Amino acid sequence: MRPLSSTSLAVAAAIRGGVRYGFDIMDATGLPSGTVYPVLTRLQRAGLVDSRWEDADLAHRDGRPPRRYYALTAEGEQALSTSAAHYRALAAEVDLGTSGGEPAES
């Protein structure tokens, strides 16, 4: 399975961390709406993320239309941990490469 892209990873991680609503995910990841929403769509189509409408009564009481909230599916959790591990390993390699050994001849 291919690892998630970095933006997808950020979004998925945010959702896992309990951030459920679209604009809140933007706040949490610092990514713009033009990026976050397409990523959400992609994750949903891949079956990694589920979405649902919040309780309508709650919303109407506040005088606003209901929001859609997102949650990771089982596959989504799996993908998240696999991808995270992948990136950690990648980071480790990069560290070794730059911190160890003599600097290259210029």
| Residues that bind other proteins in the complex, under the rule CB under 8 A | 21-23, 26, 32-38, 41-42, 45, 54, 59, 62-68
* Distance of closest approach, residue 89 Cβ to other proteins, in angstroms: 31
Least CB distance to other proteins at residue 91 (A) = 29
User: Closer to other proteins at the Cβ: 37 or 87?
Assistant: 37
Sign of the four-CA dihedral 59, 48, 39, 15: positive
Instruction: State which residue, 53 or 85, has the beta carbon closest to other proteins.
Output: 53
Residue 68 or 88: the one with the smaller Cβ distance to other proteins is: 68
Dist. CA 7–CA 43, nearest whole Å: 11
Residues 6+ apart with CB under 8 A from 26: 32, 33, 36
Nearest to 15 by CA among 103, 80, 83, 86: 80
Nearest distance from C-beta of residue 95 to other proteins, angstroms: 35
